[in-house]
Structure 1
Amino acid sequence: MKLLSFFSMLFFSVNANAAFSCEVDVKRVLVYGNGTVNILHSGRNDYTIICNTKGTWKNIDTVTCSLWVGLLQNIQNNNGKAVFYFAENGNCATLPTYGNSYAPQYIGSVG
């Protein structure tokens, strides 16, 4: 009985924070003078901040941010698709924008 209760609690606690991913076309990659990286993609059709190249933003460090910028520019230049994965509840169409944006857990290319 204890084992069943444990697995039930584990199952429901994992589902309470449903993560989501977006496979999108990258329309714009903007890097501002202050280091903020703002992305326009087909999943939201509005700008969402993903990181900052000059300092840690929502636990995303500058090295990761710079790598993401290069990856996203390459995807955009080659008319590819990107995948963004978020640990929060939601979906691509309702992603918070600008300063309220969620930090991605990962970004990759869809091959």
Structure 2
Amino acid sequence: MSADLLARHATHGAAALDDAAVEALLPAVPCWRMEAAPDTGVRLVRDFAFLDYMETIAFVNALAWMVHREDHHPDLQVGYRRCTASWTTHSAGNRLSENDFICAARADAIYAGRTGA
């Protein structure tokens, strides 16, 4: 199903997914987890590991290009050998939309292309 997500693009004004739709999409992005967001919503989160700071920043830059094209931007926490990305759809009441899963799958593809993981 990840290939199905990679074939799609984020759309403006995506609606919040119901719980059943979220549960159906989670297996397509198995490295991601759901967390409560501080603003009472929910977010999709993944931690990425790297060999050093330059690899981390190269990934963040590649991710920035993708999210700019998709016009759906994550929150990022960047450290020396790690980056944590989290998505939620603010316009959908800080709930998850299909856009979050599309961008998570695309982030996974970027990571795999850079690290082989």
Whose relative contact order is higher, 1 or 2, with alpha carbons under 8 Å and at least 6 apart? 2
The two structures share one fold, judged by TM-score above 0.5: no
Larger radius of gyration: 1
For normalisation by structure 1, the TM-score amounts to 0.30
Higher strand share: 1
Higher helix share: 2
